[in-house]
Structure 1
Amino acid sequence: MSKVVLITGGSSGIGKSIGEYLADRDYKVYGTSRNPDKYLDSKFPILALDVKDSLTINSTVAKVIENEGRLDVLINNAGAGITGPIEEIPEEEIKNNFETNFFGPINVIKAVLPQMRKQGDGLIINVTSIAGYMGLPYRGVYSASKGALELITEAFRMELKDFNIKMTNIAPGDFATNIAAGRYHAPLLDDSPYKTPYSNTLDLMNTHVDSGSDPNLMAKEVYKIINNPNPKIHYKVGEFMQKFSIVLKRILPDKVYEKLLMNHYKI
């Protein structure tokens, strides 16, 4: 029997690549988008879901279960980028980012757990970020929201163990997607004390995305995780140095690592 997979943010970028890869291998895939009518040519159904709206979450999860009778895999992929000096990012934008990257995935998890518990099995994959392992300059809010999702996954895993529901994180580095276009960018203000370093960092971040890895690398890793009866807690996918930066943070003195980051971002 084909496994039923629900992917939030499945209409473009990494989510679309994962969905197409799994659909080509006979998984029953459902993706989600806030505007599903834009993706009528998708290889798999795209349903309406806004991770900041519990009504759409519960309605869509119920629809998948009604159609298929079960839900085997949730891939929490929907997310939003945000950049800027923390001092200059409006509080509402910080809250909005956490609503999308942290509270949203939690609410989707809560919606699928009763069905997975009823089935006696299930797998939840949270798409986080390598940026969630470190506080990056001018990406601090994004780092914090993704880091929070990483940590809460660790706690969730232990709480769900008795129900045979597995959960894991997969942290991508920079991938060639349209994420940069959907980011909230704090404006570059002429009178800002951060103008020059923020501008330089922003250019570097956009270059990294434009030259990023093929999203199919994420799709292949997700496929392996789904077929692993005992998935690890954390997975990282990306360029060697991006993954190695996490190792360096563990072994280097804090100030040495901080200096490396500052040199990298030329600040």
Structure 2
Amino acid sequence: MGLEFLSFFVEKGPLSLRDFLKCKLPLSGRGIKRVLDRGWVFLNEERIFKAGAWVFPGDKVEVLLADYGRDYEVLYKDDFLLAVSKPPFLLTNESKDSLEALLNEDGYRVRAIHRLDSETSGVTLFAKGEEVFEAFKELFKNRAIDKIYKVIAEGSVKEDLFKVDFPIEGREAITIFKVLKRAKIATYLEAKLLTGRKHQIRIHLLKKGYPVVGDKLYRKGKIEEEALRKVPRNMIHCEKISFRHPFTGEYVQIVSPLPQDFVMTLKRLF
């Protein structure tokens, strides 16, 4: 994937951010909206989403440009199940532009069993039929599916191994984290989800004081380290899912290699 990080100082103004970006970037209005929506614009080191924000002489505007495709990798398939590695910036389902829709266009005839956030990459399971869908939903409900994620968090996490037991929207949520590597400004971790709540990893790491690198929803304020501003998305990857197959009885372990942007971020930060 291509990635470019541009930095500008405002010389004349005041101007709307939209007009400033139109002058500086070879992008259409739709393209400018996309970089803003994806959180790829910073004003004085703080992420900004509003095209109508004002910029003044002396302000610093930074823009991240990245090229993400819709290519997926089939990791596992049998008569009941399809597992693919979801690329970042692709919805799992409930959209004509989702991974589920793309798979059905390619002739797989499947239904998403669970969901990864748009920016999260990695193992995603799809059922070939309603009976399969219901059987796997029951496995998830009974916590009979193991889910291992790789994640990069801001800051140097002190504990080598720790559990976060903190409810999300009034429901039990438990994550076990293990530190894999530390740097001054970031920590590389493995996360095992014992529950499956929305944004669970991001909320639990934020609760500990270590927001996920690239998080745009919960991470607020200035991001002083340029290396962290160069990260195009939240650094969460569903690396491994394992379970006892409800139809064959076999133990299945499905692994998704780290995607290119994740590997690039690891090299940059560690």
* TMscore range, shorter length: under 0.3
More strand by share: 2
More helix by share: 1
| TM-score (norm: length of structure 2) | 0.24
Structure with the greater alpha carbon radius of gyration: 2
| TM-score (norm: length of structure 1) | 0.24
The structure with higher relative contact order (CA 8 Å, sep 6+) is: 1
